[in-house]
Amino acid sequence: MNGSVVLSPVMHPDQILVLQSSQPLVIVDARAGLQAQQNYNSLHLQGAAWVDLENNLSQPTSNPSQGGRHPLPELATFAHLLGQLGIEPPTHVIVYDDKNAANAAARFWWMLRSVGHQHVQVLDGGMNAAIAQGFLTSTEPTPASIRPPYPVESWQLPMADIESVATAASQSNCLIIDVRETVRYRGEQEPIDLIAGHIPGAINVPFRENLNADGFFLSPDRLRAKYESVFEQRHPDQVIVHCGSGVTACHTLLAITYAGWDMPQLYVGSWSEWSRSGRPISKTDI
């Protein structure tokens, strides 16, 4: 277990109202999809700035076979974005989306943590949960207090590339977790990438299992017990987590960290890279 993380990575919706009244926050709307910016312009949490998954939290690519559909942006580009959002090392950041933190909110959280930013939390239940708690909304863009580019040196959290994933797939002491929906893992459906199936040796633990029936994260105790069973005495550094393109995998990394575990490795390229690489593909029942 990692006892060094003091700030919970997950913030319950009622806490944001208390925090907002006691200290300055940078709130980030990370909703994604074809109409994400339109949705932000139509309605967002008051004071929130919008980030674009496709152009801010990943590097646009014409070749997903090398890095997947959502490769990480250049560090300097991300550092500039953080400065434009008014984020400095002491800044308390709250990030939300409309997918129970299963989409770009978790990705932005992981990226901030990976450049060394500690004061960042994901809003449990997302935008609608905050509104239900009485958080005010707005249709007006939020002007940022622009700061210099964030001081970054490297991505600091553990990552796996396609070669290390291939090696791990053949080693019993390593574990590859595929967090996509079971029908995609089995190869029964593939709505996004070119080929259906999964990485040989990977197990399926859908990210939605991190949530309760109301769409909130399970308690840390329940998540700790869940992933203790999944890991089967492996240390998190022996675990690689992936999804379709390295975005929803961050939801599971968030849940694991919320449970008190150290951070496993993220395979950023994920299925979008592996399935285009010509490497073996499995289609099996579970």
Place of tokens 């308390």: 92
Q: How far is CA 248 from CA 18, 49, 197, 266, in A?
A: 29, 21, 17, 11
Give the E-state strand segments of the chain in sequence order: 10-11, 26-29, 44-45, 48-50, 93-96, 120-123, 137-138, 159-160, 175-178, 203-204, 239-242, 265-267
Answer yes or no: 174 catalytic: no
- DSSP secondary structure letter of residue 216: P
Place of tokens 């919970």: 8
Q: Provide CB contacts within 8 A for 208, sequence distance 6+.
A: 102, 181
Identify the active-site residue in 81, 93, 243, 266.
Answer: 243
Q: Name the token pair of 133.
A: 């708690």
Residue pair 31/104 in contact by the 8 Å Cβ criterion? yes
Residue pair 51/80 in contact by the 8 Å Cβ criterion? no
Question: How many residues are recorded in the chain?
Answer: 286
CA nearest neighbour of 53 among 255, 245, 266: 245
Q: Provide CB contacts within 8 A for 224, sequence distance 6+.
A: 259, 260, 261
Q: What positions carry a catalytic annotation?
A: 243
